[in-house]
Amino acid sequence: MNEVKSKNLFIRVSEKEKILIERNAEKCGLSVSEYLRQRALGYMPRAVLPEVFFSFSDKLDALCIACEGRISADTEEKMIALIDGITEELILPKQEKAVV
């Protein structure tokens, strides 16, 4: 879905609002345009996590690999679900309910 973005929208904001928007976009590792686009389309972008999180995530993945075949399939499924849940909660943008 790499649609060409050729249309512009212009909004007026106060200096305080501009600074806040820029700061929030930076925390999420997004351009101001992408941050506002995601917010306007009902998504709540996530702040970029510290490097230590990814180190922790790698260790969890290594644990799953080390346990493969040594634990029950049910336990393995629960471990994978836990990691997927953590990833979803901390990394993936959440979509908010659309205002109609």
Instruction: Report pLDDT digits (tens) over 53-83.
Output: 778 878 888 887 888 778 888 888 888 888 8
Q: In this structure, what DSSP letter does residue 97 have?
A: P
DSSP assignment of 15-81: HHHHHHHHHHHHHTT--HHHHHHHHHTTEEPPPPPPHHHHHHHHHHHHHHHHHTTTS-HHHHHHHHH
Q: Would 8 be classed as within a structural domain?
A: no
84 and 53 within one domain: yes
Q: Would 5 be classed as within a structural domain?
A: no
Exposed, middle or buried: residue 10 (CB in 10 Å: 0-12, 13-18, 19+)?
A: exposed
pLDDT of residue 97: 58
Does residue 1 sit in helix, strand or coil?
A: coil
Provide the number of structural domains found in the chain. Answer: 2
86 and 55 within one domain: yes
Q: Which domain holds residue 21?
A: 13-48
The chain-wide mean pLDDT, for the chain, equals 83
pTM for the full predicted model: 0.56
